[in-house]
Amino acid sequence: MKENVYAEEKIYMGRLPQGSDILVSLGEIAKKNGIKTGQIQMIGAVQCAVVGYYDQDNMAYKTLKLEGHYEVLCLTGNISLKDEEPFIHAHVVLGDDKGICYGGHLMEGTRVFAGEYIVRAFAGEEMKRVFDEKTGLYLW
């Protein structure tokens, strides 16, 4: 088990630009502010979405493209280092016009209609991702 202990250092709160890619924008926020370890949350709405489902048997992501508009009911994630760069890992729950939910591992291609984020930056030892053979994923 790997576990680090952190003191919260700074909290960033803001709005993502309309039309921007959520994953790219969150990565830019982390890089711009030098955040190497932290927590992300966001709510809002998207113009379209791309989410992943990790196929454990084949150790590969299946991609689900969601055309159309969705509420971002919950986006939660973290920031840590992968190859010495801030890396965003986020999961999202999206609701349609009937309240039906879709969700998965946030991927590039998810476009902001409106997005309010809170990013918490942690002070302390950097959390780093390394390749894990058992899962085929880059984990802490």
The least distance separating Zn ion from the CB of residue 90, rounded to whole angstroms, comes to: 7
Residues 99-138 that bind Zn ion (CB under 5 A): 105
- Closest approach, Cβ 128 to Zn ion, in A, equals 17
CB of 89 to Zn ion, least distance (A): 6
Q: What token pair was written down for 36? A: 């190497």
DSSP one-letter string for the chain: ------EEEEEEEEEEPTT-BHHHHHHHHHHHTT--SEEEEEEEEEEEEEEEEEETTTTEEEEEEE-S-EEEEEEEEEEEEETTEEEEEEEEEEE-TTS-EEEEEE-TT-EEEEEEEEEEEEESSPPB-EEETTTTEEE-
Compute the least distance from the CB of residue 45 to Zn ion, in Å: 21
Nearer to Zn ion among residue 105 and residue 120 (C-beta): 105
Look at residues 76, 79, 77 and name the one whose alpha carbon lies nearest to residue 128. Answer: 79
- Residue span binding Zn ion (CB under 5 A) among the ranges 9-17, 67-75, 97-105, 126-134: 97-105
* Nearer CB in complex with Zn ion: 36/105: 105
What is the size of the binding site for Zn ion (CB under 5 A)?
1
Which is closer to Zn ion, CB of 11 or CB of 59?
59
Cβ closest to Zn ion, residue 114 vs residue 140:
140
Q: Is residue 73 classed exposed, middle or buried when 0-12, 13-18 and 19+ CB atoms within 10 A define those classes?
A: middle
Nearer to Zn ion, 36 or 89 (CB): 89
**Taking the complex as a whole, how short is the minimal distance between the CB of residue 106 and Zn ion, in angstroms?**
8
Q: Which residues bind Zn ion (CB under 5 A)?
A: 105
